[in-house]
Amino acid sequence: MRTASRFVVLLAAVAALVAAGCERPGTPAQNVASAGAGSAAADTNDTGSAAADTGDVYGRTTPSRGGTGKTYMGREISQVMGHRGADWLERPERAENEMPGRVVEAMNLKPSDVVADIGAGTGYFTFRLAPKVPRGTVYAVDIQPEMLAKIRRRMKADSVGNVVPVRGTEKNPKLPAGAVDKALMIDAYHEFAFPREMMLNLRAALEPGGRVFLVEYRKEDPTVPIKRLHKMTEKQSIREMRAAGLRHVRTADVLPRQHLMIFEKPAP
């Protein structure tokens, strides 16, 4: 009986510790920054509650050049462009080829909006979004610490105070639930290793009526000078977003080489 009593006491103590660990003090921005600072080991294990029921939705194929051999809804997932390709993200001709100003304009941002730049990279779009939401926040989400380091250096150099760098995982952007008004993904989604889980967790981070702005090079157009696996068709994009519970609002035909597709989290 003494052994059983000690076991019960031990269980109660463990439960108390777990409960205490579930409380994260501080502001939402502080909380998400803390959550994003986890180890890389979490990338392979952290599914998050929103993605717990995804099941086996991935297949395998013979890897294409630049591909992973992993498929999702019939699409081969491409390899990730690492931080060593950061210069390509800042290439001078990007402004002409991708017209970032048109993307930002299409987002119709309000000064107090909370925005997430998913796959932020060097912050090419992050620092175009920040001045548009002076009373809001831009979460710059990336899984590569080297990219986030570049963003932090620019924040310091330019005295930008409304950007919050977040180290997400392959499955979770690590954002506060129901806090994001608008999320932007520029030429990044096709590289997500776990697109279903990532989008379910991003959907959970959106407020009801929150929107996702998905930009991908047009796969339907053979003249677009981008590798095949780094392009997506509008039809495929809509299928994959719908699988995560997002409604296609419209596709804005404002970019010379890319789709600008707008999706919405339906209100309950």
pLDDT for res 83:
67
pTM score of the predicted model: 0.81
The residue ranges of every structural domain in the chain are 48-264
Rounded to whole angstroms, how far apart are CA atoms 228 and 222? 9
Stretches where the chain sits below pLDDT 50 are: 1-49, 52-53
The CATH H-level superfamily of 48-264 is: Vaccinia Virus protein VP39 (3.40.50.150)
- Other C-beta atoms lying within 10 Å of the C-beta of residue 171: 26
The rounded distance, in Å, linking the Cα atoms of 25 and 30 is 8
Instruction: Tell me how far apart the alpha carbons of residues 224 and 197 are, in angstroms, rounded to a whole number.
Output: 29
The Cα–Cα gap between 83 and 93 comes to: 19
Please state, in angstroms and rounded to a whole number, the distance separating the CA atoms of residues 42 and 70.
20
Exposure string over 9-38, b if 16+ CB within 10 A, otherwise e: eeeeeeeeeeeeeeeeeeebbebbbebbee
State pLDDT tens for residues 70-95.
999 999 999 987 666 667 576 788 88
As a whole number of angstroms, the distance between CA 78 and CA 120 comes to: 17
Tokens coding 7: 């076991």
Q: Are 215 and 186 in contact (CB under 8 A)?
A: yes
- Distance between alpha carbon 117 and the CA centroid of its chain, in Å? 7
User: Which pLDDT score, from 0 to 100, does residue 49 have?
Assistant: 47
